[in-house]
């Protein structure tokens, strides 16, 4: 960019969370993943600011102890500042559990069983008010912080939690340069219309307050363009991926994120990961290993994955005793009934399959439910088949992490509905996540694949992942915003 800019990131969950250490001192624990790496990298260079909701007592305590509530992360080894918003618990509950997780996540991942759900009522509208209030609070703080920065503020707003922020921020600070990025899929126009109109139109118009809208896959971008077309006064140009609204142009762009290969490879060489690799290897003996690593999340399609494996074992009994399925599942959003019920269903299905097909010296499925990043990093090195079969997924970083660390030319079985499929699909065994038969065949194909073919695919996968470092994801968005700024300046002067 030609003039000095100050990068401001906004996301619901912060890049770190504060917890007291053994001496009671607050310690910053960093979240894993490409998003945090890419954005902290960009903030580091620009000495920028990150605005997030406080999610723990430690976050609130750290914010209270910081001058003006802004935490200087230099004390924690990073050159950016962090501001936590302390939102009253009941408002936060409506915004986060009620709308973000309970409605928007379900809509964008097609998770409703439409005969019975959803059925919107008063409590959803109250939760929507909370969602509006939290988005408004974010917008106000972003506008206020933008006015304090040394350079022109450039905002990078993240995800479905903050879909209303771009429009609200534009009303408060009309000249702002705003990008909004969706890390989830975006439901197609028919499905999105399940939402009450106030939510449907509010979300679309909220996001349209941005200069640039980013998505991980072209399909999600097209879905957004098609939904916006239904709004009065909005002109969506699908061919040029642009939307005209309120006399402004909104660019709709695809920037697939990737993983931080260096950090991931470093974590795989740490003593804890080595120890775990030895343990997993001892247990598997000379069996082949199918692996899945997921949040225990409805969209990940864990139950159908087990059923496909069961079908494969029934169809090809010679594999019994020669293969095992390791499922590393980390608990997620356990405040929601549907998530707790799904967790039980996953455990019950694994137990049933073990009971029906297991033998005294062999158990078909080994399921672990806990936060276990080190275990995942260790297991990535050892799989023969990595099963990634989400119903639908914005991107899916497991499909990238596995091939980077795997040492056995393991095969990736990948859902056609994962955003990652667009880049990695040609080196994966593709599956329809609803088709148990096709997934069972895919497991068999992967296990029987000749070494030369496995090597070719494994090399292709890691090459593609390495070719797209996380810095490129954020760099592309900043370039888009610079383009938007130039276009706006030339429109004003002509």
- What CA–CA distance (Å, rounded) separates 408 from 381? 7
Please, what is the minimum distance in Å from the beta carbon of residue 59 to ligand G6P?
A: 13
57 or 371: whose CB is closer to ligand G6P? 371
16 or 365: whose CB is closer to ligand G6P? 16
**Sign of the CA dihedral running 95, 193, 108, 204:** negative
- Residue whose Cβ sits closest to ligand G6P: 183
Please, what is the minimum distance in Å from the beta carbon of residue 298 to ligand G6P?
A: 12
Asked if residues 281 and 416 have their Cβ atoms less than 8 Å apart, the reply is no
97 or 287: whose CB is closer to ligand G6P? 97
Considering only CA atoms, which of 402, 328, 340 is closest in space to residue 367?
Answer: 328
183 or 255: whose CB is closer to ligand G6P? 183
Considering only CA atoms, which of 110, 41, 27 is closest in space to residue 80?
Answer: 41
- What CA–CA distance (Å, rounded) separates 50 from 225? 29
Asked if residues 122 and 180 have their Cβ atoms less than 8 Å apart, the reply is no
Residue that is written with structure tokens 């230099």 in the block: 74
Please, what is the minimum distance in Å from the beta carbon of residue 183 to ligand G6P?
A: 3
Helix axes 398-405, 261-269, angle to 10 degrees: 60
Interface contacts to ligand G6P, rule CB under 6 A: 13, 159, 183-184, 332-333, 394
CA distance readout (Å), 282 to 94, 276, 277: 47, 10, 9
- What CA–CA distance (Å, rounded) separates 271 from 71? 32
13 or 487: whose CB is closer to ligand G6P? 13
Please, what is the minimum distance in Å from the beta carbon of residue 73 to ligand G6P?
A: 20
- What CA–CA distance (Å, rounded) separates 128 from 100? 9
Please, what is the minimum distance in Å from the beta carbon of residue 33 to ligand G6P?
A: 7
14 or 375: whose CB is closer to ligand G6P? 14
Asked if residues 104 and 160 have their Cβ atoms less than 8 Å apart, the reply is yes
Asked if residues 347 and 339 have their Cβ atoms less than 8 Å apart, the reply is no
394 or 402: whose CB is closer to ligand G6P? 394
Please, what is the minimum distance in Å from the beta carbon of residue 376 to ligand G6P?
A: 14
91 or 332: whose CB is closer to ligand G6P? 332
155 or 160: whose CB is closer to ligand G6P? 160
- What CA–CA distance (Å, rounded) separates 459 from 275? 26
Asked if residues 291 and 329 have their Cβ atoms less than 8 Å apart, the reply is no
Please, what is the minimum distance in Å from the beta carbon of residue 96 to ligand G6P?
A: 7
Please, what is the minimum distance in Å from the beta carbon of residue 405 to ligand G6P?
A: 20
The pair phi, psi for residue 94, each rounded to 5°, is: -65, -45
The contacts of residue 358 (CB under 8 Å, 6+ apart) are: 364
Please, what is the minimum distance in Å from the beta carbon of residue 438 to ligand G6P?
A: 25
């Amino acid at each position: 960019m030609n003039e000095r800019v100050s990068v401001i990131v906004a996301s619901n969950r912060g890049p770190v969370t504060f917890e007291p250490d053994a001496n009671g001192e607050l310690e910053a624990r960093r979240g894993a993943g490409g998003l945090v790496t890419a954005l902290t990298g960009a903030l580091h260079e620009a000495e920028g600011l990150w605005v997030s909701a406080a999610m723990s007592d430690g976050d609130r305590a750290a914010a209270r102890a910081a001058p003006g509530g802004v935490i200087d992360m230099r004390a924690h080894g990073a050159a950016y500042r962090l501001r936590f918003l302390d939102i009253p618990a009941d408002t936060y509950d409506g915004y986060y559990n009620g709308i973000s997780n309970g409605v928007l996540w379900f809509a964008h991942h097609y998770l409703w069983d439409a005969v019975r759900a959803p059925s919107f009522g008063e409590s959803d509208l109250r939760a929507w008010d909370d969602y509006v209030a939290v988005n408004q609070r974010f917008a106000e703080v972003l506008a206020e912080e933008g006015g304090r920065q040394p350079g022109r503020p450039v905002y990078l707003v993240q995800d479905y939690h903050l879909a209303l922020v771009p429009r609200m921020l534009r009303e408060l600070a009309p000249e702002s340069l705003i990008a909004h990025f969706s890390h989830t899929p975006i439901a197609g126009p028919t499905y999105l219309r399940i939402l009450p109109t106030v939510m449907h139109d509010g979300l679309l118009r909220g996001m349209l307050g941005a200069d640039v809208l980013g998505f991980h896959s072209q399909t999600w971008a097209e879905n957004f363009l098609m939904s916006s077309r239904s709004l009065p006064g909005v002109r969506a140009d699908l061919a040029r991926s642009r939307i005209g609204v309120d006399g402004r142009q909104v660019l709709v762009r695809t920037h697939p994120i990737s993983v931080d290969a260096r950090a991931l490879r470093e974590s795989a060489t740490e003593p804890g990961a080595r120890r775990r690799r030895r343990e997993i290897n001892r247990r598997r003996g000379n069996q082949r290993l199918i692996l899945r690593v997921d949040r225990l999340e409805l969209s990940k399609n864990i139950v159908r994955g087990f059923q496909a494996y069961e079908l494969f074992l029934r169809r090809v009994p010679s594999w019994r005793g020669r293969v095992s399925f390791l499922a590393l599942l980390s608990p997620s959003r356990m405040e929601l009934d549907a998530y707790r019920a799904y967790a039980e269903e996953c455990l019950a299905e694994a137990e049933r399959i073990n009971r029906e097909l297991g033998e005294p010296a062999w158990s078909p499925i080994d399921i672990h439910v806990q936060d276990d990043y080190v275990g995942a990093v260790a297991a990535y090195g050892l799989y023969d088949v990595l099963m990634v079969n989400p119903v639908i997924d914005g991107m899916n970083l497991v499909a990238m992490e596995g091939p980077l660390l795997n040492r056995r030319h393991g095969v990736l079985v990948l859902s056609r509905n994962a955003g990652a499929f667009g880049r990695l699909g040609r080196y994966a065994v593709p599956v329809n996540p609803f088709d148990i038969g096709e997934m069972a065949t895919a497991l068999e194909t992967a296990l029987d694949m000749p070494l030369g073919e496995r090597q070719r695919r494994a090399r292709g996968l890691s090459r593609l992942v390495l070719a797209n470092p996380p810095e490129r994801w954020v760099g592309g968005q900043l370039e888009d915003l610079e383009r938007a700024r130039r276009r706006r300046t030339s429109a004003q002067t002509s």
